[in-house]
Structure 1
Amino acid sequence: MSLRYNITKNPDGSYNFITDGNIEYVAFFTLCQINDKEGNEHTVYSFGFEKAGSYKSDKFKTKYDLKVKETIIFIIKEFFKLNGDGTLIYFCFSDDEFARHRSITFSKWYRESLFETIEHHKKSVKQNDVVFYCGALIARENPLRELLIGAINSYFSDLASYKNDL
């Protein structure tokens, strides 16, 4: 039995996979430009994954699927193989009240499978009295690591400020 699901890489760089329970997921990367404190522009990738098609989130209705974890970890590792000094940012929004749960799960996955070569920087940001969780994965060997961490933290704070002004 495979430890992960079979994936299909799409021309746009996203990945699809279907679970044993016949749930289709899509994992995707979106380019994002951020600036550091010295005014340098950096390209980072926003990473996300979601159930494709109809999505309904009921508390504790579905059971934990280890193969989803292993598939997502594989995709993240592939990203860093192809983009050695690349940086991933992610967001756990609270539309369904599971943002904190997703953040905790993602942190656990990081500790179990990615910590040796990748740093994880987490942050929670309050928007209009709602907390959302975000973070970044940065290669430990990235020579611009410190500048990127500062730029990402500023980016997250700016997003919260912008959203709060709406």
Structure 2
Amino acid sequence: MSARYEINRNENGTSYHFITSSGNTYIAYFTEFTMLNRNRKDVPILSFGFSCKLTDDDEPQRYDRKIKSTIIYIIEEFFNALPTESILYFCMNQDGKAKNRHLIFDKWFKEFSHGLEKHNTPEASAKHDFYGSILLKSANPNKQKFIDAFYFTIDYWDLGC
């Protein structure tokens, strides 16, 4: 793994922030989410996301390898601490860039997937700009429970479109 930015963990323990060399501030966070299984029982899981506060909105963002390394590090640390858990990741589309985020995250995942699996929302959901994934360790004894709940929840809420 290449160099990464220094990470500051916030007091709540569920979010992190780091500042890039260009002065942009990134916030990475975990939030509680509840999926449903086939019996409509709750399956708690954490959702992962990150956002960027630009120092200058007019200046185009340049590619910064250390951002990728830092985000990957946070995800790897999560799975080192909680190997039997899973993470949801949804690409938000408020700016029309959900597909780009999804493609970038797929590329990142292929580079760091050491012992992890990623299952994506059905292709039909892409027609409606809805992209999401569940990440989990391949050896997770709860793997099938999480995968089944992921797809059931998508179907239940008609997110597979």
Smaller-chain TM-score bracket: 0.7 to 0.9
Tell me which of 145, 148, 151 is aligned to 1:150: 148
Matched, 1:134 2:132: yes
Which stretch shows the higher mean deviation, 139-148 or 70-79? Answer: 139-148
Partners of 1:25 and 1:50 within 8 A in 2: yes
1:83 paired residue number: 82
Q: CA RMSD in A?
A: 2.5
> Secondary structure of the residue that 2:79 maps to in structure 1?
helix
2:32 paired residue number: 31
Is the alpha carbon distance of 1:53 and 1:64 closer, same or farther for their aligned partners in structure 2, counting shifts above 3 Å?
A: closer
Partners of 1:125 and 1:156 within 8 A in 2: no
Q: Which amino acid aligns with 1:34?
A: M
Structure 2 unaligned blocks of 5 or more: none
Shift of 1:81: 1.0
Task: Give, in whole Å, the separation in 2 of the partners of 1:97 and 1:56.
Answer: 17
1:45 paired residue number: 46
Where does structure 1 differ by over 3 angstroms across 4 or more consecutive aligned residues?
Answer: 38-41, 52-58, 124-127, 157-161
Shift of 1:10: 0.8
Shift of 1:117: 1.2
Task: Give, in whole Å, the separation in 1 of the partners of 2:140 and 2:93.
Answer: 31
CA offset digits 1:83-138 (Å, max 9, x no partner): 11111001112211111111000011000012x211011115649x7312111101
Matched, 1:68 2:67: yes
CA offset digits 1:18-56 (Å, max 9, x no partner): 000000010000112222224553221000000147895
Per the normalisation by structure 2, the TM-score is 0.86
Partners of 1:94 and 1:130 within 8 A in 2: no
Is the alpha carbon distance of 1:11 and 1:113 closer, same or farther for their aligned partners in structure 2, counting shifts above 3 Å?
A: same
Q: Which amino acid aligns with 1:89?
A: L
Partners of 2:24 and 2:54 within 8 A in 1: no
> Secondary structure of the residue that 1:69 maps to in structure 2?
helix
Which stretch shows the higher mean deviation, 30-39 or 84-93? Answer: 30-39
Shift of 1:142: 1.2
Partners of 1:37 and 1:147 within 8 A in 2: no
Task: Give, in whole Å, the separation in 2 of the partners of 1:121 and 1:56.
Answer: 33
Per the normalisation by structure 1, the TM-score is 0.83
1:11 paired residue number: 11
Q: Which amino acid aligns with 2:46?
A: Y
